[in-house]
């Protein structure tokens, strides 16, 4: 403990590095734009061309684990949803 006091590392470089790593991830996923909103709209448009779906039943979520980023798209289809749209 006493040795720790003498060779105390400054903390700001740690903060800087943590922020750089974190923000690189968050910018890629959330983007400096509304990436999730855009994805949701475009995925919805593609599916709606073929299947009747309720726009409120489409969920797009981004997640992050230690080494991978995930994108979860959850679309609820009505029972008759798989009949082709006109």
Partner 1 sequence: MGTVIVVTSGKGGVGKTTSTAALGAALAAGGDSVAVIDFDVGLRNLDLVMGAERRVVFDFINVVQGQAKLAQAMIRDKRLPNLFLLPASQTRDKDALTEDGVRRVIDALRASFDWVICDSPAGIERGAILAMRHADAAIIVTNPEVSSVRDSDRIIGMLDSRTIKAEGGVAIPKHVLVTRFDADRASRGDMLAIDDILEILCLPLLGIIPESQEVLKASNLGAPVTLANPASAPARAYADAVQRLKGDSVAMTIPSDKKSLFSGLFRRAA
* Residues contributing to the site for partner 1 (CB under 8 A): 10-13, 15-16, 18-20, 22-23, 26-27, 30-34
Q: CB of residue 6 vs partner 1: minimum separation in angstroms?
A: 15
Backbone angles phi and psi of 63, in degrees to 5: -140, 170
Closest CB to partner 1 among 29 and 58? Answer: 29
- Compute φ and ψ for 50, nearest 5 degrees: -115, -30
Return the number of the residue (23 or 82) whose C-beta is nearest partner 1.
Answer: 23
Supply the minimum distance, in Å, between the C-beta of residue 21 and partner 1.
11
Q: Are the CB atoms for 51 and 82 separated by under 8 Å?
A: yes
Tell me the C-alpha distance between 50 and 84, whole Å. Answer: 6
């Amino acid at each position: 403990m006493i040795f720790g006091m003498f060779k105390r590392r400054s903390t700001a470089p740690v903060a800087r590095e943590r922020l750089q790593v974190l923000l690189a991830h968050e910018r890629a996923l959330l983007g400096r734009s509304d990436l999730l909103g855009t994805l949701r709209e475009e995925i919805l448009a593609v599916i709606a061309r073929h299947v009747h779906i309720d726009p409120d039943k489409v969920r797009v979520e981004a997640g992050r684990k230690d080494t991978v980023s995930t994108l979860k798209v959850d679309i609820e289809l009505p029972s008759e949803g798989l009949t082709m749209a006109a």
